[in-house]
Structure 1
């Protein structure tokens, strides 16, 4: 009776294990990466403007309450003209 080789030829189970450990080592070297989307960046900028706006409103309220707030008619007129005629 003659017995032939069972299974694939040139297959080394130790080599397969070595390849698996090398692959896990390669994947372990990968680093996490964080990317902030454009929309998130715009929201961060909007938040900065919101805090600045709140501070300005607070100052204006204090000026109105103390009676030191002065209206600049010329600036208001220029702003209205720019809004309607210089779009």
Structure 2
């Protein structure tokens, strides 16, 4: 009769199980949280910058209207209206 694998292989089966759990926990700890900003969020951030610029322009126009120095360019208004209605 031939006997192979003699030795203390089955003495502490819980040790192998604990080693597997420890390695799984180590891998879980290595994985860090990752934050990715979607394209929609980036667009919203860009929009807020545009809104700030627009708000500054609105404030500038409001001051001009209050001072009476605001002048309308009728040719620009007509061109904008024409462009708007020819596109739609």
TM-score bin (small chain): 0.7 to 0.9
Matches within 5 A, 1:61-72: 61-72=62-73
- Scaled by the length of structure 1, the TM-score of the pair is 0.77
Structure 2 unaligned spans of 5+: 1-8
Q: Distance in 1 between matches of 2:24 and 2:52?
A: 50
Partner of 1:24: 25
Q: Distance in 2 between matches of 1:74 and 1:52?
A: 25
Q: Distance in 1 between matches of 2:87 and 2:42?
A: 30
Query: Match of 1:33, SS?
Result: coil
Q: How many residues align?
A: 79
Q: How far 1:20 sits from its partner (Å)?
A: 0.9
> What is the RMSD computed on CA atoms of the aligned residues?
1.9
Partner of 2:36: 35
Residues 50-86 of structure 1, C-alpha deviations (whole Å, 9 max, x = no match): 1111111100011111122111111111100100113
Structure 1 unaligned spans of 5+: 1-8
Matches within 5 A, 1:1-87: 12-87=13-88
- Scaled by the length of structure 2, the TM-score of the pair is 0.77
Q: Distance in 1 between matches of 2:50 and 2:75?
A: 25
